[in-house]
Structure 1
Amino acid sequence: MKLGSLKEGGRDGTLIVVSRNLQRAVRADAIAPTLQRALEDWSNVAPRLNALSQALNEDRAEGAFDLDDAVLAAPLPRAYEFVDGSAYLPHVERVRRSRGAEVPESFYTDPLMYQATSAGFYGPRDPILASSDEWGIDLEAEVVIVTDDVPMGVGAATAAEHIQLVGLVNDVSLRNLIPGELAKGFGFVQSKPRSALSPVFVTPDELGDAWHDAKLHLPMRTWINGAWFGAAECGVDMQFSFAELVAHVAKSRPLSAGTIVGSGTIANEDTSKGASCLAEQRTVETLRDGKASTPFLKFGDTVRIEITDAAGSSLFGAIEQTVTCQPPRG
């Protein structure tokens, strides 16, 4: 099934079930008012949502309406946790090599992750807001999963059973702010603004054979200003599966239902497939030509992120955003 949230009913939106073709939807607030509440009682709520999804797809759901992406909030407008990884080895190796640094030996056996911004997510059509386009505004096209309650200390096999939803995120980075923050040795704050989520999250069974080994095996398609930018394969060169990422986070603490875990920027060893972030493209250019030629995003630029199935149908809907100036406030 496919689930989304309307921009109504407060900060956490109103839960809706969305048709497989993303054309129709029906409110599900009689079952659970929000997606967060549904995840907190998933074993009881999911069968009822599945029944509503079946009715919607068979055109027999009462109250169904045509879906307009403009009215959609993020499926989870805010989450208790968003923990982002960097699971693609080619991306880590290139970025490190471009600045003359080695990949730590531990990376090959221990995931690289950080605690990301989760207090609010942009909807799929909301703008990317920044006060200056000199900050090095960058898209990062990633896959995310959402868990139910995960107990502390789970292994990867058990962690896989707690993955309930899959979606996309544009994990925006402000590249020119990152070096100064990392130099302090304490992580990201200003350089990681709010991210945008795909129109819907879907249950893994909805993905068929494209979901196995706790990885999504489809290309991540990205466009900038309408021009093709990349179609990196999500299931290729992913050093750690989502089950391993969840287990890594839960090593020393339980995870609350609604925790979002990100894959990190999709990247392949084969650079002909393009990139999923500008930093990756600029790194390839630097290693090849001695300098980067692709600029970061400027005000007015647009980005589009989408994954389609083998038949060309959109699975999660598209994230489409315009970079917009929000002047500093007093």
Structure 2
Amino acid sequence: MRWVTYRSAAAGGERVGLVEDGQIHGLRAPDRLLDLLGDDGERMAGAAEEARRDPLEVVDLDEAVLRAPVPVPPSIRDFMAFEAHVRNARKSMDADLDPEWYHDPVFYFTNPAAVLGSGDDVPISPGCTWFDYELELGVVVGRGGADLDPAEAEEHIAGYFIFCDWSARDLQLKEMRQGLGPAKGKDGASTLGPMLVTPDELAPHRKGNGFDLQAGVTVNGRTYTKTTLGEQYWSFGEMLAYASRGTRLVPGDVIGSGTVGTGCILELSVLHGIEEYPWLRPGDEVVLSVELLGDLRARIVEGAPLRPLR
């Protein structure tokens, strides 16, 4: 199944819809995807039958205004599951990969209030001149749980989507020198979508801890990133299990894989030079694509002016 949250003309607000054959079959109720979560998938399956049998409306997917599948998640944890990304990013700081990275799948919390949907403009963070995209795979937690093991944690995934972690690299570098962060370097925007795809659709493409899916990014029509999602060191089951250790995951929580190898300008600039892969600027059109999951589109715009603290 494929689900979207979209702006409905018929309902006059946001609605949840089932996507089939390029069309959205809008649900009459509920109006939040979050309300279809919390069990082993029975609510979602029942809602799909209702959407097919008696839709509120049928809208072409290409003409719909999409929101993030879960527009305001309870929390967002972003991991670093791809070894190639970590190695390449460390080169920018003349550092090697820390052996501790192989012991636990580390993450940071980012801002649920800054979630955007496909097609939304993305403002550059105030004071930033090194603005970057990060191509990731994301999941939504379907069932809550605490102290899970990796096998059962995998069963708690409601679906997958593209996750773009927009990054102010110069701000990130400054704050992480103080031993904290990333914080403001990642605080401005995360784009999720364009749709939520249930695990059964990705299962045939499983490769080790990841998925054998083609992925890429273009900026103003030029290919920047071209890669696959197969070389994932930490599985989502392991990441969810670690996230649930000593605490509780709740339905709607978002987990990001971290950036795929060469999935950001930081890496590309280290490998090929910043002149070849310059930082994002206002007016840039960015498209992130993953096989089966669709295209995530964004236009970069000028952000708010920097207001001095002192």
TM over 0.5: yes
Task: Pick one of 158, 163, 169 that aligns with 2:163.
Answer: 169
Please give the alpha-carbon distance, in whole angstroms, between the structure 2 residues aligned to 1:208 and 1:148.
17
Matched, 1:306 2:289: yes
Question: Which residue number corresponds to residue 215 of structure 2?
Answer: 220
Asked if 1 retains the 8 angstrom alpha-carbon contact of 2:84 and 2:260, the reply is no
Please give the alpha-carbon distance, in whole angstroms, between the structure 2 residues aligned to 1:245 and 1:52.
33
**Structure 2 unmatched runs, 5+:** none
Please give the alpha-carbon distance, in whole angstroms, between the structure 1 residues aligned to 2:39 and 2:153.
18
Matched, 1:320 2:297: yes
Deviation at 1:99, TM superposition (A): 2.1
Equivalenced residue count is 304
Amino acid at match of 2:80: S
Asked if 1 retains the 8 angstrom alpha-carbon contact of 2:123 and 2:303, the reply is yes
Question: Which residue number corresponds to residue 156 of structure 1?
Answer: 150
Q: Deviations over 1:22-73 (max 9, x none)?
A: x21111242x2211111135544122123246x38xxx85732323455111
Deviation at 1:243, TM superposition (A): 0.6
Question: Which residue number corresponds to residue 43 of structure 2?
Answer: 45
Please give the alpha-carbon distance, in whole angstroms, between the structure 2 residues aligned to 1:190 and 1:10.
34
Question: Which residue number corresponds to residue 231 of structure 1?
Answer: 226
Amino acid at match of 1:302: E
Give SS of 2:230's match.
coil
Please give the alpha-carbon distance, in whole angstroms, between the structure 1 residues aligned to 2:12 and 2:96.
47
Output the aligned Cα RMSD.
Answer: 2.4
Deviation at 1:133, TM superposition (A): 7.6
Asked if 1 retains the 8 angstrom alpha-carbon contact of 2:217 and 2:286, the reply is yes
Map 1:63-142 → 2, pairs under 5 A: 63-130=57-124, 134-142=128-136
Amino acid at match of 2:266: A
Question: Which residue number corresponds to residue 270 of structure 1?
Answer: none
Matched, 1:16 2:17: yes
Question: Which residue number corresponds to residue 7 of structure 1?
Answer: 7
Q: Deviations over 1:159-182 (max 9, x none)?
A: 011011010011100001111111
- Cα–Cα, structure 1 residues 254 and 176, in superposed 2: closer, same or farther, change >3 Å? same
Deviation at 1:119, TM superposition (A): 2.1
Give SS of 1:36's match.
helix
Matched, 1:194 2:171: no
- Cα–Cα, structure 1 residues 306 and 52, in superposed 2: closer, same or farther, change >3 Å? farther
Identical pairs, percent:
27
Please give the alpha-carbon distance, in whole angstroms, between the structure 2 residues aligned to 1:218 and 1:160.
19
Q: Deviations over 1:127-184 (max 9, x none)?
A: 1112558431101111001112332111101101101101001110000111111122
Asked if 1 retains the 8 angstrom alpha-carbon contact of 2:26 and 2:55, the reply is no
Asked if 2 retains the 8 angstrom alpha-carbon contact of 1:178 and 1:188, the reply is yes
Asked if 2 retains the 8 angstrom alpha-carbon contact of 1:86 and 1:263, the reply is yes
Q: Deviations over 1:242-264 (max 9, x none)?
A: 11111111111110101111111
Give SS of 2:239's match.
helix
Deviation at 1:232, TM superposition (A): 1.2
**Structure 1 unmatched runs, 5+:** 268-274, 309-314
Please give the alpha-carbon distance, in whole angstroms, between the structure 1 residues aligned to 2:68 and 2:174.
30
Matched, 1:296 2:283: no
Give SS of 2:266's match.
helix
Asked if 2 retains the 8 angstrom alpha-carbon contact of 1:221 and 1:231, the reply is yes
- Cα–Cα, structure 1 residues 284 and 110, in superposed 2: closer, same or farther, change >3 Å? same
Deviation at 1:214, TM superposition (A): 5.6
Identify which range, 88-97 or 35-44, moves more after superposition: 35-44
Normalised by the size of structure 1, how large is the TM-score?
0.84
- Cα–Cα, structure 1 residues 132 and 81, in superposed 2: closer, same or farther, change >3 Å? closer
Deviation at 1:98, TM superposition (A): 3.6
Please give the alpha-carbon distance, in whole angstroms, between the structure 2 residues aligned to 1:10 and 1:66.
17
Question: Which residue number corresponds to residue 266 of structure 2?
Answer: 279
Identify which range, 176-185 or 291-300, moves more after superposition: 291-300
Asked if 2 retains the 8 angstrom alpha-carbon contact of 1:165 and 1:203, the reply is yes
Asked if 1 retains the 8 angstrom alpha-carbon contact of 2:125 and 2:168, the reply is no
Normalised by the size of structure 2, how large is the TM-score?
0.89
Give SS of 1:37's match.
helix
Asked if 2 retains the 8 angstrom alpha-carbon contact of 1:142 and 1:265, the reply is yes
Q: Deviations over 1:85-139 (max 9, x none)?
A: 1111111122223423232221112112111121241110001112558431101
